[in-house]
Structure 1
Amino acid sequence: MPLPLLALMLGVFCVGTAEVVIAGILPEMSADLAVSIPTAGLLVTGYALGVTIGGPIITLLTTKWFRKGLLLTLMGVFIVGNVIAVLAPNYPTLMAARVFTSLSHGTFAAVAWHVAALMSPPDKQATAMAKIALGFNFANVLGSPIGTFIGQHFGWRATFGYVTAFAVLCLLLIVKFVPGALSTESDEGGEGGLSLREQMKVFRKGSLQLSMLITVLAQGAVFTTSTYLAPLLRDIGHFAPAMVGILLIVFGIGSVLGNILGGKAADANVMRGVLRAQSALLIALLVFWFAAPHQVPAAIALFLFGAAGFSIIPALQARILSVAAAAPALALSANVSAFNLGNGLGAWLGGATIDLGYDVRAVTLTAAIATAIALVLTVAMWARGRRELPEPAAAAALDDANTADAALARKS
């Protein structure tokens, strides 16, 4: 991986780890801060709300900043927030630190994806964004388990110290390797040269609104199942508790592979990449439902679900980039919020399915229904686009803005 992309991926790994690592150290935080576990769990909710609401706002207010300076500022905010968390004397201070830290998350991820696209030729932009998204994969596969181990053995404050150390390393790598001449594209007529009102007009596009809805549904389908993987494997597959951790690593390996393949598919054709990723997810969920009671097939299905579930991320981000050339960073940041909304929707859908009296195996079918709806919307969006513009012209139109951005990056 090129060092500039490695620096950006490490930053995404940091923000992703900060979001999910709390789940593994809730008992330690609850005991030390003298609050209930549900109250400690609100630290996850507070962070997620900060990402969802704050990301687009921060992105909108910083569109005239040079990309490298913005990345460094955001990582500085992240570091300061985590240092405050390490030193927090009580729960309210820790909650404030979490919300403050979260304000950097959405914009950093969006700008990292945008910068990765700027530094890549048009036919490699989705692959570059997939490499950045690997940071989220590694946050779940490595960052959270390591942070949990540290928190359980050295205290929850040490977990925040561990995240801070990686963030400092990321900041140094950005200083060293990310090109400093990546501007707001104001000289190319990009979002840096637009007023706030003009940038907000990008959200009037029906194609962007529909793309973000598809993001919520597709990501929601993934989290409808992934939130309940442990009981699904234990109660339906009859795996021993010790095996569940190993199987989650299998899921993580599949997610890494799927991320890479999803990026390559989107590079070849964005819309076909989105359709293939969603079709693969639908098939994987149905296979998982059939295989869940049988251990070896269930393990294989879990791997396939991880691969299909995470192949949608670079494909959907590439789609957003193709329909929001006037304000790419803002649209990508809003789509990060859409992913977070999907996370919450998925967890709620899975819980609602179980509350209706179905066993935990049924969450895969609920997820399949959400995926099918997203797939139908994607097919309708693609068909509409093909009717409005012949395919060669449509492809050329979608590539124009990305080509200009890539040319700017190569000049810098």
Structure 2
Amino acid sequence: MSKSHASLAALCASVFVVGTSEYLVAGILPEIGADLRVSQGTAGQAVTAYALGVVLGGPAVTVLTSRLPRKGLAIGLMLLFAAGSALSALAPSFGVLLLGRVVSSLSHAAFLALALVMATSVVPEHRTGSAIATVASGFTVATLLGVPLGALLGHAAGWRAPFAVLTALTLAAVALLALVLPRQQAPATSPRDELRVVTRGPVLLAIATTAVGFSGVAVVFTYISPLLTQVSHFSSGAVSALLLAYGAGSFLGNMAAGKLTDRSLSATVRGVFGGLTGVLAAMPFAVAWQPTAVLAVLALGLLATATIAPLQGLILRHANEAPNLAVSVNVGAFNLGAAAGSALGGALVAADALRWTGPAGAVLSLTGLALTYLILPRRQAAEAPRGTPVPSAHG
């Protein structure tokens, strides 16, 4: 295995651990509530606290650590994550559990941003899309395997067991990073440089595209299980199998989008958003018949995470000389989009419009598609050589 492949594998494994932690709590809320003597609604605040830590804390940590050597920073952020996981596993009260989740979340966006930027630095410029997709695949595997296995462990051995295992896996990832990551000096950019770049017009538009476009997926996917059981009349077992197929499709879609991004960033990002708009718009009609419902779920899986590589590629295209904060904020934008989409979907479900979450998601994806034409208005700019900043009146 080459040094670049080993580095990508180590970063991917680390992202898998972080990604598993993000959604783990949702699967073990009853156990947490019963043990710590809080309602499930209160226990759910552990999910909210983590999300807020990612959105608000991640960029702050990124700015404060912008002058540190990259390898040492990656290891330090994962050790911070391990500390949060250990604190969660040992928490004697719900307040301490919240503290542990916040500590872990502070490293989430900063580490993912660092991992994505480091990934692009260990491969040739024409393979940056594939490198981003490889690292991001850690999240899709976490959703496919890590979260359900963690929930099963929590049901069988108590809610603390998954956090204990996560702590051990994080320390193993730290050892792997220490072994294979190349040493990289601290970037010459200052926090002021990072702030200047992230406030450029095209960078802000790219971040908005991520938040708006990805929220379209969340409107539907958050409520995909009741949609398939109540409208399509699938059994619970069949829904579980479909969600497994969705996860497998997400992995394949993410990797394919990485390779396509290497060939044409603009065509990939527009093709993905165009495809999502069509699938989401058709969802109310597709779920009325089980065979088309299966096809719709598989298509949604293929396209949902196919947004990651081109959207992060957009950020790197416009924030090339000081990318860390911009990528960190964009990671938060994915989380913000997921939260906003879930809230909108919840409002539709409350209004007895479960079947019609798809068109609402389609409008958001279509808005994301429209925004890409503001960011990449000319083919020449869109297809500039990798690593070349696009001139902008805002920058």
Question: In which range does the TM-score fall when normalised by the shorter chain?
Answer: over 0.9
In structure 2, distance between residues paired with 1:258 and 1:350: 24
1:323: which partner in 2? 318
The answer to whether the Cα contact below 8 Å between 1:30 and 1:40 also exists between their aligned partners in 2 is: yes
Paired with 1:352 and 1:139, the residues of 2 have a C-alpha distance of 28
Measured in 1, the distance between the counterparts of 2:382 and 2:81 equals 40
Partner of 2:128: 125
Preserved contact between residue 8 and residue 134 of structure 2 (Cα < 8 Å): yes
Specify which of 71, 81, 94 is matched with residue 78 of structure 1.
Answer: 81
Q: Compute the RMSD of aligned alpha carbons.
A: 1.5
1:157 maps to which of 152, 157, 160: 160
Secondary structure class of the residue paired with 1:103: helix
Secondary structure of residue in 1 paired with 2:283: helix
Tell me if the contact between 1:50 and 1:103 (Cα under 8 Å) persists in the aligned partners.
Answer: yes
Residue aligning to 1:184? 186
The normalised TM-score by structure 2 is: 0.95
**1:323–1:398: 8 Å Cα contact kept in structure 2?**
no
1:286 deviation in Å?
2.6
Q: 1:85·1:93 contact (CA, 8 Å) conserved in 2?
A: yes
Post-superposition offset of 1:6: 1.1
Distance of 1:114 and 1:245 partners within structure 2:
35
Q: Deviations over 1:99-121 (max 9, x none)?
A: 11110000000000000000111
Q: Distance in 2 between matches of 1:317 and 1:99?
A: 25
Give the 3 Å change call, closer, same or farther, for CA 349–317 of structure 1 in structure 2: same
* Conserved? CA contact 1:228–1:350, under 8 Å: yes
Q: Distance in 1 between matches of 2:338 and 2:15?
A: 17
Deviation of the 1:123 alpha carbon: 1.0
SS of residue in 2 equivalent to 1:340: helix
Are 1:140 and 2:128 an aligned pair? Answer: no
* Distance of 1:398 and 1:129 partners within structure 2: 13
Count residues in correspondence.
387
Structure 1 segment 4-403 matched on structure 2, within 5 A: 4-180=7-183, 182-186=184-188, 191=189, 194=190, 196-358=191-353, 360-383=354-377, 386=378, 391-392=379-380, 395-396=383-384, 399-400=387-388
1:410 aligns to what? none
Q: CA deviation at 1:398?
A: 5.5
d(CA) in 2 for partners of 1:50 and 1:128?
26
TM-score after normalising by structure 1: 0.91
Q: Which runs of at least 4 in structure 1 moved beyond 4 Å after TM superposition?
A: 391-394
- In the alignment, the residues of structure 2 paired with residue 219 and residue 255 of structure 1 have an alpha-carbon distance, to the nearest angstrom, of 14
- Structure 1 residue 357: Cα displacement: 3.5
Q: Is the contact between residue 284 and residue 308 of structure 1 (CA under 8 Å) also seen in structure 2?
A: no
Q: 1:392 to 1:377 in 2, by over 3 A?
A: closer
CA distance in 1 between counterparts of 2:23 and 2:209 reads: 23
- The C-alpha deviation readout for 1:250-307, integer Å capped at 9, x for no partner, is 1101101110111112111222221111112112223333211211221121011011
Task: Provide the secondary structure at the position in 1 that maps to 2:79.
Answer: helix
Alpha-carbon distance in structure 2 between the residues aligned to 1:366 and 1:41: 25
1:379, CA displacement in angstroms? 2.1
- 1:136-162 Cα shifts (integer Å, max 9, x gaps): 101111011000010000000001012
Partners of 2:27 and 2:380 in 1: CA distance:
50
Q: 1:7–1:397: structure 2 CA closer, same or farther, 3 Å change rule?
A: closer
Pick closer, same or farther for the CA change 1:393–1:98 going to 2, 3 Å: closer
Tell me: CA distance 1:134–1:397, structure 2 relative to 1, closer, same or farther (3 Å).
closer
How far does residue 328 in structure 1 lie from its aligned partner after superposition? 0.7
* SS of residue in 1 equivalent to 2:388: helix
Structure 1 distance, partners of 2:283, 2:185, is 46
In structure 1, the residue matched to 2:393 is none
Distance 1:224 1:393 in 2: 32
Structure 1 residue 185: deviation in Å?
3.3
State the distance in 2 between where 1:204 and 1:145 align. Answer: 38
Displacement after TM superposition at 1:81 (Å): 1.0
Q: Which runs of 5+ in 2 are unaligned?
A: 391-395
Distance 1:275 1:184 in 2: 35
CA–CA separation in structure 2 for the residues paired with 1:342 and 1:17: 19
Q: Name the amino acid aligned to 1:53.
A: L
Does the CA contact (< 8 Å) of 1:285 and 1:368 recur in 2?
Answer: yes
| 1:204, distance to aligned residue in structure 2 (A) | 2.7
Q: How far is the alpha carbon of 1:165 from its aligned partner?
A: 1.9
